[in-house]
Structure 1
Amino acid sequence: MWRNIASNFLSIAVVLLVVVVGVLAWGQRQYVGPGPLAEAICYKVPSGAKLWQVAEGLEEKGAVTSAYIFKVGADYEGRASGLKAGSYLIQPGTPMQEIMGIVAGSGRSTCGTEINYRIGVAATDVLVRELDAVTNRYVEKVKFDPAADAVPQDYLDIAEDADTRIRITLAEGVTSWQVVEALKRAEFLAGEVKEVPAEGYLMPDSYEIKRGASRAELLADMEERQRATIERLWAERAGDLPYDTPEAGLVMASIVEKETGVPEERPVVASVFVNRLRQGMKLQTDPTVIYGLTGGKSVLGRGLRQSELKKDNPYNTYVIEGLPPTPIANPGEDSIRAALNPAQSDYLFFVADGTGGHVFAKTLDEHNRNVAKWREIEAQKSDGG
């Protein structure tokens, strides 16, 4: 009798074990397999949210098949305490495991409403936009010039929302003075700036910040990123450059940045100036002359006069030999790379080609012909042709 009872108990235990193993296997497949979400959503994880709250919220949105399985899977992987507040884009069919990785990842929001404070060479503007999760496209909500326009009420309403992301974007080629002046007008920043950072040492990039962030600390972050970039690229530089310090390389990078906005042209433009330095020719580049006139505090907005091209100052490369004493703007990584690894060419001249790019020449005669063509294009434009 006892033998039969023991045998039956063992059989039941085996069956239960098989069932448990099967359930666990099914749950594991549910956790790592494709999710049920049919349409992309922007899911918000509130500050201080618990895992069970997020799990239930995801189930309500149709992003996970089971809040319980989601929570168990997160617990098993040791991610239960790793939630990061923010708004996250979740694509259709995303597995629960990947969703957990999203909400417990970097904490950087990937959707929702964003204020983008854009500091450009010619102007600064504030753009408020919201990502449409379905189309994965941003929809513009508010746009204004913080220097000229009254602050719209729509902007203030959005800016006061704690969930609104704030981003500051520095365009390549802005000057340090322009950056500081723009940051002074940013109402969401705090603290004073005691001095303008050295020209060229702010990294043009996108910076996500929190309301009330320190202006001084933000500038320090921009400097740290730029110096790290220079150090890294200097270690990868070509071996035959006509300048032997990272500082000089940064000066060249700033000139390249101001001379062309066409990415693929940067190494070629750099090669022209490198070739000129090697041959002892003056650089003769207008952006340096303009910087000598404005100090980087304004856009000239007109052509250079002959008297200005002949004026003796440290930045007039029509007069001085070699490089000017400092950078003339804050160059981006591509321009720094181009200055430190220029293309191999015999070019000594270039001029605008009328399409936004440039045409290059090896001889003065060839260059003069290119200049003549450019003047014809300018004449046609002025005549309305």
Structure 2
Amino acid sequence: MTEYGRGGGSEPWHPGDPLYGDQGWTAHQTQQAQVPYSGDPQQHYAHPQEPQYQQQYEGQYPQQYPEQGYDQQVQHPHQPMAQQPMAPQPLYDGSGGQGWDTGQGQYAAAAVQVDAYAVADPYAGADPYAQQAVAAYPGEAPDLYTTAEAYPPPTPPGLRHLEPEPVEEAPVEEPEEDFLAEGGRSDDGDEPPSRGRRAGGRAKGGKGGKQKKRSGAACLIAAVVIVGVVGGGGYYGYTYLKDRFGAAEDFAGEGSGETVEVEIPKNAGLGQMGRILKQAGVVASAQAFVDAANANPRGKSIQPGVYPLKKKMSAAAAVAVMIDPTKLNVLTVTEGMRNSKVYEAIDKKLGKPDGTTKDIAQREAKNLGLPAWAGNNPKIVDPLEGFLFPMRYDLSKDSTPESLLRQMVKNAADKYLEMGIEGKAKELGLENPLQVVTVASLVNAEGKNHDDFRKMSEVVYNRLKKTNDVTNQKIEFDSTYNYVKNQSEINFNLKEAQRFDNPYNTHFVKGLPPGPIGNPGADAVTATLNPDHGGWMFFVSVDGDKTTFTKTYDEHLKLVAEFQERQAQKKNGG
């Protein structure tokens, strides 16, 4: 059976029913939840719940399910009861049968009792086929198809997948731009044949002409912007490609007459060097310098320092100057170098008269930063001797003799403090740290390598011992005699040296000289602090290259005889 309760027995839905399949879809058949009249042709009755029904039967029937909000309803003997917005209910079908059990038998029984009362039919005399307004059931959703804000009715199933026909719109004619005529006319006053009457009419109206003028100006501005963007991009693209793949910009020749001093810092790479040179105006581009340095086999051996270079040099010419150590504007104090030689080198590098730096050193010695333990012996010839630390010093246009001397003294004092010579002086049997520097200057003058330095310092310490009865505590180093004489001779008269009275001449006096005889390097100082401890007392270099050390005087005499014989052969041309 159906849920509409059509009368006795079950009956299929009528084909004309709007809910039967997909047939009969029209705009007026889309009404919501209309109830058919049982047993008659398709009629639609609504059962408004009017007040008289509620009053007439008020009190005769107890309200059902008040907690659920259902209102008391009555049913006309010939009209099916209005449906409630609830789960399917058992319905009376007129044949004594009962539908499915939904568990709401009370509500079904109340519906059956309504037939037992004779109730006046409020619908008597009314047109049964007239379209009646549909009353909303309690809790029912509003009809979305009959109000002003209603949704459009659903499309019939047969037309649901059809694409709507496109609506053709009248084409909008745009005014053509004509930069040769104003207001849509050519220079001779005739209408352009392609424009027609409409274009001419708009031009005459004035407004169209203004719009066309503005449109033409906008196109012109847009064209200028596009050209600018394309041109700018092209320029930068050309510049990038030129820098990336083109030859680097470079000068030609050895440069102009103007000379500039360029300082290359430590750990600088070729790229940084090139940028420094370009900024100074020496080379045209950093890349040109890098290319030239890479092309030169010695290009990567460029040392940091100050270089006197000319402006607008070719990159290759600049590299050629910078790989030549003699062109580097530096002053190098070598290990064991005497102060007298250092003073001469400073005067020469700075273009000062001879003796300028020596006079400053003697006059300003106490103001150049010497350690407190230095220069206390009144017999010292030069208080700065041993304190002009051996290394390379970069010169600049601001360099002066005094600034260089101060820098050298500071480097020496810092190095000696780092090596801890003050604390080790007593351990070595020396009187003060100055004597440590003095021993280091002796071994640096006599030896050739670190092994020589360690053995020679052992010789000095053994000869300084009071138990030394072989040399009677005399050091007897030829270098001390040469220092007094300001020379560097190997062959000199030994007997004359032994008679020459000078506190620095260890062939004449016992013990150490008053101060250093040169500027020892770090290697010599380290060896002095760590002697060999081999018991050596003598040494001699027979061939002028290798130094041989002995412990006894007899062994030493044999080596001396061999040395003298070799020297005689050289003198005679052998």
Shorter-chain TM-score category?
0.5 to 0.7
1:339 corresponding residue in structure 2 = 528
Q: Is the 8 Å Cα contact of residues 278 and 285 (structure 2) preserved in structure 1?
A: no
1:288 corresponding residue in structure 2 = 480
Query: Amino acid of the residue matched to residue 180 of structure 1?
Result: Y
Shift of 1:188: 5.3
Q: Distance in 1 between matches of 2:446 and 2:429?
A: 19
Mapped pair 1:384 → 2:547? no
Secondary structure of 2:387's counterpart equals: coil
Q: Distance in 1 between matches of 2:434 and 2:290?
A: 55
Q: Distance in 1 between matches of 2:401 and 2:561?
A: 48
Secondary structure of 1:207's counterpart equals: strand
Q: Distance in 1 between matches of 2:427 and 2:305?
A: 49
Q: Distance in 2 between matches of 1:266 and 1:209?
A: 31
Mapped pair 1:167 → 2:356? no
User: Cα gap change, 1:165/1:60 in structure 2, threshold over 3 Å: closer, same or farther?
Assistant: closer
Q: TM-score, normalised by structure 1?
A: 0.58
- 377, 382, 389: which one pairs with 1:203? 389
Instruction: Choose between structure 1 and 2 for higher RCO, CA contacts under 8 A separated by at least 6 residues.
Output: 1
Query: Amino acid of the residue matched to residue 282 of structure 1?
Result: K
Per-residue CA deviations over 1:56-89 (Å, capped at 9, x if unaligned) read 95667788xxxxxxxxxxxxxxxxxxxxxxxx97
Q: Distance in 1 between matches of 2:287 and 2:478?
A: 61
Q: TM-score, normalised by structure 2?
A: 0.40
Q: Is the 8 Å Cα contact of residues 202 and 226 (structure 1) preserved in structure 2?
A: yes
Secondary structure of 2:361's counterpart equals: coil
Shift of 1:186: 2.3
Q: Distance in 2 between matches of 1:227 and 1:312?
A: 32
User: Cα gap change, 1:237/1:341 in structure 2, threshold over 3 Å: closer, same or farther?
Assistant: farther
Secondary structure of 2:393's counterpart equals: strand
2:32 corresponding residue in structure 1 = none
Q: Is the 8 Å Cα contact of residues 447 and 453 (structure 2) preserved in structure 1?
A: yes
User: Cα gap change, 1:89/1:252 in structure 2, threshold over 3 Å: closer, same or farther?
Assistant: farther
Mapped pair 1:138 → 2:323? yes
Secondary structure of 2:464's counterpart equals: helix
Shift of 1:357: 2.4
1:248 corresponding residue in structure 2 = 435
User: Cα gap change, 1:130/1:240 in structure 2, threshold over 3 Å: closer, same or farther?
Assistant: farther
Q: Is the 8 Å Cα contact of residues 389 and 408 (structure 2) preserved in structure 1?
A: yes
Mapped pair 1:272 → 2:272? no
Q: Distance in 2 between matches of 1:47 and 1:369?
A: 61
Secondary structure of 1:350's counterpart equals: strand
The aligned runs of 1:253-332 (5 Å cut-off) are 253-278=440-465, 279-280=467-468, 281-292=473-484, 294=485, 296=486, 298-299=487-488, 303-332=492-521
Q: Distance in 2 between matches of 1:173 and 1:254?
A: 6
Q: Is the 8 Å Cα contact of residues 251 and 328 (structure 1) preserved in structure 2?
A: yes
Query: Amino acid of the residue matched to residue 217 of structure 1?
Result: S
1:182 corresponding residue in structure 2 = 345
Shift of 1:305: 4.7
Q: Distance in 2 between matches of 1:369 and 1:332?
A: 32
Shift of 1:130: 7.1
Per-residue CA deviations over 1:184-229 (Å, capped at 9, x if unaligned) read 2324579965234521111111111212312101111001111111
Higher strand share: 1
Secondary structure of 1:45's counterpart equals: helix
Q: Distance in 2 between matches of 1:62 and 1:371?
A: 56
- 222, 225, 228: which one pairs with 2:414? 228
Shift of 1:290: 2.5
Secondary structure of 2:518's counterpart equals: coil
Query: Amino acid of the residue matched to residue 274 of structure 2?
Result: K
Mapped pair 1:219 → 2:405? yes
Q: Distance in 2 between matches of 1:345 and 1:130?
A: 53
Secondary structure of 2:501's counterpart equals: coil
Q: Is the 8 Å Cα contact of residues 260 and 357 (structure 1) preserved in structure 2?
A: no
Secondary structure of 1:360's counterpart equals: strand
Secondary structure of 2:336's counterpart equals: coil
Q: Which moved more, 1:308-317 or 1:192-201?
A: 192-201
Identical amino acids, percent of aligned pairs:
26
User: Cα gap change, 1:366/1:91 in structure 2, threshold over 3 Å: closer, same or farther?
Assistant: same
Shift of 1:338: 1.5
2:276 corresponding residue in structure 1 = 46
Query: Amino acid of the residue matched to residue 338 of structure 1?
Result: A
Shift of 1:131: 5.2
1:374 corresponding residue in structure 2 = 563
Per-residue CA deviations over 1:265-303 (Å, capped at 9, x if unaligned) read 1111111111111244211111112223x3x4x556861
User: Cα gap change, 1:110/1:251 in structure 2, threshold over 3 Å: closer, same or farther?
Assistant: closer
Q: Is the 8 Å Cα contact of residues 314 and 324 (structure 1) preserved in structure 2?
A: yes
Q: Is the 8 Å Cα contact of residues 242 and 277 (structure 1) preserved in structure 2?
A: no
Per-residue CA deviations over 1:249-280 (Å, capped at 9, x if unaligned) read 01111111111233431111111111111244
Secondary structure of 1:174's counterpart equals: coil
2:545 corresponding residue in structure 1 = 356
Q: Distance in 2 between matches of 1:367 and 1:220?
A: 43
User: Cα gap change, 1:178/1:373 in structure 2, threshold over 3 Å: closer, same or farther?
Assistant: same
Query: Amino acid of the residue matched to residue 259 of structure 1?
Result: E
Contiguous gaps of at least 5 residues in structure 2:
1-244, 246-268, 297-301, 309-316, 366-383
1:99 corresponding residue in structure 2 = none
Per-residue CA deviations over 1:279-337 (Å, capped at 9, x if unaligned) read 44211111112223x3x4x5568614513312332122223221111111111111112
User: Cα gap change, 1:355/1:312 in structure 2, threshold over 3 Å: closer, same or farther?
Assistant: closer
Higher Rg: 2
Contiguous gaps of at least 5 residues in structure 1:
1-35, 51-55, 64-87, 93-108, 116-128, 144-163
Q: Distance in 2 between matches of 1:239 and 1:305?
A: 33
Shift of 1:181: 2.7
User: Cα gap change, 1:302/1:376 in structure 2, threshold over 3 Å: closer, same or farther?
Assistant: closer
Shift of 1:237: 4.5
Query: Amino acid of the residue matched to residue 215 of structure 1?
Result: P
Shift of 1:375: 1.8
